[in-house]
Structure 1
Amino acid sequence: MPHVLVAGPRPAIPARPVRAVRVRLDRAALRGWHLRLLERLAQREDCRLSVEAVEGTTPILPANAELLFRLEATIHGLPRPGLSTPAAPVALAPYEAAEAGAPDLVIDLSGDGPAGEDGAVWRLDVDGVPGEAGLLASLFAGRIPVAALRDGQGAAVAAGRLGAESQTVMLVAFEDYLARTITLIEAALSGGASCELPEGALAPLVPAGAFDIAGWTVRRRAAENLGRRIARRLYGLCFHGERWRVGWRRTQGPDLIDLRRHPPGGWTDLPDDGRRFYADPVAIARNGSVTLFMEEFDYSRAKGVISAVRFGPRGPVGRPEPVLERDTHLSYPFVFEAGGEVWMIPESSRSATIDLYRATQFPGGWAHEAVLVEGVVASDATLLRHGGRWWLFATVREGGGSFSDSLHLWHAADFRGPWTAHPRNPVLIDVASARPAGPIVLRDGALIRPVQDCRGGYGAALGLARILRLDEDGYAQRVEARLAAGPDWPGSRLHMYSAAGGLEFIDGSRRPPMRLRRG
């Protein structure tokens, strides 16, 4: 007979005494991770929580850090807000109204709390630098940060070497570090955290007890140096990083769908002024001319809007002009005509909705018409009229993971909805062929779906997939061609495809040559 283990009664775990814990925060430097920490502490049975909001005298992070985070979030499709996002002080109101009185413990995260105060006080430093600046400073220096909670005498009560999924995307690493900092604080409260520096960790940069004038000086100098490093990285992202661009050409004979390769003669770049890039081209032919819609990303604002430009016999007439802007970042303007009017579904994944707009004064004057699908983080929504129904394609990010590998479908009798989710969603999980890359093309009786091949990163290559099955019970496709950057499209990425009225468009990126200073 099988061996059976019978568990005996577990020894009772003594309940930890309830402590009055006060968290001290800089009202002007509040971030998402502080609110997450307060939520976690408020749920603890051994913690009676209150908050003290103070006016700090030095910034926790350099002023350009948030611009870096916003730019990286847009480039890499990262969700915001997050743990690093600035938060409004009004979010502290429920905790500030909590029971007052002398606390048993103060967790000082303000970076500027008074030294030598009575009672138990814990302060956070990273590699010896008080506050969050130590996290970014370690990241820019290529170090693995060591975080420590110290008491009023500078002795560590908890220490840990923090990890991150990425060491190249600062926002990802910074938020990973902040999440683990919360873990460290909770472990210290539970009494289970190690107070020893991890094996091989460097000695702290600030000697014990130096959290007054000396600590302020070290922190100020670190913040100034960090600000310069962030500025250099911002410059690199904007001017020496990969630059997205749109290419166009007139079709005289076979197009890209027929050729399954780049056409002879290559592509003409849509010019930009160096202060913005254009991407996600979607063209529509109307009233005898072609209008190209696209994402316009302004580096100074770190935000995308939808712009449009009309094409004449010699190419674009003027420069693209913004036609739709919202509070959130917009991209991938899927434009189509139905019922004698022009409609648009821009990507606005940060709003967790798929939205429909109607042109009231083409190509501008866009009015919000309906929410087609809500409660989804969807990318590159693309419509298709097929088999007497409307079909909506988009990749959906659920519970983390990639934005590009999970294809979902919806169908409806009318494009305004209501939309029904396909019962087999996700109908495809494949980072090489799930994410849409432009309008679906009907060619010789076959539906050809441009797809993004993201095996080499976001938008690395363009695939052409033949739809083999599309109905309310199933979906199938077969990728028949893959096109990448090369001699006819210099760069490192080929992202999407659109065509209308004898013109076709692609986009992608390339790294511009570095400008070297003399001297």
Structure 2
Amino acid sequence: MQVSLRLDSDCLRAFHLLLLRRLAALANVEVSVDARPRGSGVPGSIAALFQLETVIHGLPADGLAKRLPLSALAPYRTQPRAAPDLVLDLCGDARQEATRVWRVTYDGAAGEAALLASILDGRTPLARVEENGAVVAEGRLGTEYGGIALAAFQDMLARTASLILAAVTGAARGALPVLPEPDDRPAPSLPSAGKLGVRAGKALARRIVQKIYHLCYNAPHWKVGWRETDGRDLFDLRAHPASGWQELPDDGSRFYADPFPILYQGQVTLFVEDYIHRLGRAIISAVPFGPSGPIGRPEPVLDLPYHLSYPFVFERDGEVWMVPESCANRTVDLYRATAFPGGWVKEATLLSDIVASDATLVEHGGMWWLFATVRDGEGTARDGGGAFSDELHLWSAPDFRGPWTPHPKNPVLIDIASARPAGRMVERDGQLLRPVQDCRRSYGGALGIARVTHLDLNGMDQLVETILTPGALWSGRKLHTLNEAGGLEFIDGSAIAPRWKQKRRP
């Protein structure tokens, strides 16, 4: 297949070379480039804002948004061998032609100026690949760096490449899950140079305030909430319980997050991410629970040289297993407890050379499935990454030990509002209910409950039925994990932790 990538040469970026390299690597695809000035560039004030953000936030200057000279396209053909079968238009050229043309739009408008306008407006851009107005593929793009335009721009460029690649290979989905919170605001427009100057000033002031805040407070700081379900959990209630939540106490020098309880040998034991502020990384700790709450405090059970979180624990074959998040090690590993709740030994590496977040296993339809969000479309971070929370990949296996096979339609979903796992899946009325993270406003900002309506080797579909947000009944500023065991239910969210109030732990 002959594919021509149409670019605005005035806006040639490292992102375009990434996309060209990935397209050229596809079997039976020959790529050419149509690059010429088209007047769709962005104001110079945007470049000035990017430069300022690079200095203020210490961002690398060689990311996907880096401007490149036209000579960088030299390795690629400027004329196809024959008339292209498909034109990928990234600049919004309005010409009429007989060739199939796919246009990439953000919130209904084409070109990188439209993407930047959405970012500067604080929106979650809806990216689409369209052909004659029909949607070929779409995704809600996201970032963990809200408020930093350059970082968000680079994350969303990386995910745009994933979306285009999925559309070309036929793996992309044509429609996203409908959310309970419709977004019908008008499409944004780029602010004037004066307004960008004001924004830059605010960004500098915000950075100074952040520095002062971090001197006075441990941030981020999460906390775990728990309650007795009395027979009805959040999957039933779809709202915070009227009784509210009790909190798992911490000493301020560390926080607890990602609560995973398990009922084993008649005892509920809670596993948590135990983040130690002075180390800047987390270990896995555990604490037994009774009807009145924790029996003691969480004690370390798994400590490795890299950051650990999301301790997905489950019982199988009379033993307890754990798949903790270890994306800092670029692996997904399986551990077995030899002296529960400790004595963890690594039994297998399920996935390697991958930046995968919150791996969640479930047995369904006679096979095992592994859900995780992946930082970029190739399963590695070599080509620029992207967000951690908006691209869902699946793997299947005959046994939880493996071997695990990537889903042929990966990524099965690009959606910052419902891709990232948020706890164990449960089965109700023969269907899977899946806790998901809604990160549209910020990482871990809200908790969604999605019903998986289709899951097999042909794809995965889900319906987001409920979105739970923090409020009067949960004082945390965020909400991003949900798990239950033995009649006890757990959530987590962020908290304010003054440094002067933290207690010294022996």
Provide the C-alpha distance between the structure 2 equivalents of 1:338 and 1:329, rounded to a whole number of angstroms: 26
Is 1:335 equivalent to 2:321 in the alignment?
Answer: no
Partner of 2:490 in structure 1? 505
Partner of 2:60 in structure 1? 176
Aligned pairs, how many? 308
Tell me which of 379, 394, 397 is aligned to 1:409. Answer: 394
Tell me, yes or no, if the aligned pair for 1:163 and 1:176 is still in contact at 8 Å. Answer: no
Q: CA deviation at 1:175?
A: 3.2
Provide the C-alpha distance between the structure 1 equivalents of 2:51 and 2:217, rounded to a whole number of angstroms: 21
3-state SS in 1 of match to 2:345: strand
Q: Which moved more, 1:506-515 or 1:449-458?
A: 506-515
Partner of 1:318 in structure 2? 296
Tell me, yes or no, if the aligned pair for 2:252 and 2:497 is still in contact at 8 Å. Answer: no
Tell me which of 362, 381, 406 is aligned to 1:421. Answer: 406
Partner of 1:481 in structure 2? 466
Aligned pairs for 1:273-312 (under 5 A) are 273-312=251-290
Provide the C-alpha distance between the structure 2 equivalents of 1:376 and 1:301, rounded to a whole number of angstroms: 24
3-state SS in 1 of match to 2:279: coil
3-state SS in 2 of match to 1:493: coil
Provide the C-alpha distance between the structure 1 equivalents of 2:280 and 2:437, rounded to a whole number of angstroms: 24
Distance 1:419 1:165, change over 3 A: farther
Aligned pairs for 1:184-333 (under 5 A) are 232=212, 234-238=214-218, 241-333=219-311
3-state SS in 1 of match to 2:479: strand
Q: CA deviation at 1:297?
A: 0.5
Give the letter for the 1:277 counterpart. F
Tell me, yes or no, if the aligned pair for 1:461 and 1:483 is still in contact at 8 Å. Answer: yes
Is 1:491 equivalent to 2:476 in the alignment?
Answer: yes
Partner of 1:378 in structure 2? 356
Overall identity of the aligned pairs, in %: 57
Q: CA deviation at 1:450?
A: 0.1
Tell me, yes or no, if the aligned pair for 1:436 and 1:449 is still in contact at 8 Å. Answer: yes
Give the letter for the 1:163 counterpart. F
Give the letter for the 1:492 counterpart. R
TM-score, with structure 2 as normaliser: 0.57
Provide the C-alpha distance between the structure 2 equivalents of 1:457 and 1:465, rounded to a whole number of angstroms: 19
3-state SS in 2 of match to 1:176: coil
Tell me, yes or no, if the aligned pair for 1:243 and 1:510 is still in contact at 8 Å. Answer: yes
Distance 1:514 1:295, change over 3 A: closer
Q: CA deviation at 1:289?
A: 1.1
Tell me, yes or no, if the aligned pair for 1:243 and 1:512 is still in contact at 8 Å. Answer: yes
Residues 208-256 of structure 1, C-alpha deviations (whole Å, 9 max, x = no match): xxxxxxxxxxxxxxxxxxxx99984542451xx4531000001113211
Distance 1:411 1:165, change over 3 A: farther
Partner of 2:421 in structure 1? 436
Provide the C-alpha distance between the structure 2 equivalents of 1:360 and 1:266, rounded to a whole number of angstroms: 36
Distance 1:343 1:514, change over 3 A: closer
Provide the C-alpha distance between the structure 2 equivalents of 1:231 and 1:435, rounded to a whole number of angstroms: 29
Provide the C-alpha distance between the structure 2 equivalents of 1:179 and 1:444, rounded to a whole number of angstroms: 47
Provide the C-alpha distance between the structure 2 equivalents of 1:395 and 1:165, rounded to a whole number of angstroms: 31
Partner of 2:163 in structure 1? none
Q: CA deviation at 1:319?
A: 0.3
Provide the C-alpha distance between the structure 2 equivalents of 1:385 and 1:166, rounded to a whole number of angstroms: 45
Structure 2: stretches of 5+ with no match in the other structure: 1-46, 69-207, 377-383, 502-506
Q: CA deviation at 1:163?
A: 3.4
Q: CA deviation at 1:161?
A: 7.0
Residues 418-471 of structure 1, C-alpha deviations (whole Å, 9 max, x = no match): 100000000001000000000001123221000000001110000000000111
Tell me which of 47, 50, 61 is aligned to 1:163. Answer: 50
Q: CA deviation at 1:414?
A: 0.8
Provide the C-alpha distance between the structure 1 equivalents of 2:53 and 2:408, rounded to a whole number of angstroms: 35
Distance 1:472 1:177, change over 3 A: closer
Provide the C-alpha distance between the structure 2 equivalents of 1:286 and 1:496, rounded to a whole number of angstroms: 21
Residues 60-86 of structure 1, C-alpha deviations (whole Å, 9 max, x = no match): xxxxxxxxxxxxxxxxxxxxxxxxxxx
TM-score, with structure 1 as normaliser: 0.56
- When Rg is computed on C-alpha atoms for both structures, the one with the higher figure is 1
Residues 471-509 of structure 1, C-alpha deviations (whole Å, 9 max, x = no match): 111110000000000000013211110000000000001
3-state SS in 2 of match to 1:163: helix
Tell me, yes or no, if the aligned pair for 1:162 and 1:177 is still in contact at 8 Å. Answer: no
Partner of 1:128 in structure 2? none
Partner of 1:353 in structure 2? 331
Partner of 2:108 in structure 1? none
Provide the C-alpha distance between the structure 2 equivalents of 1:385 and 1:436, rounded to a whole number of angstroms: 15
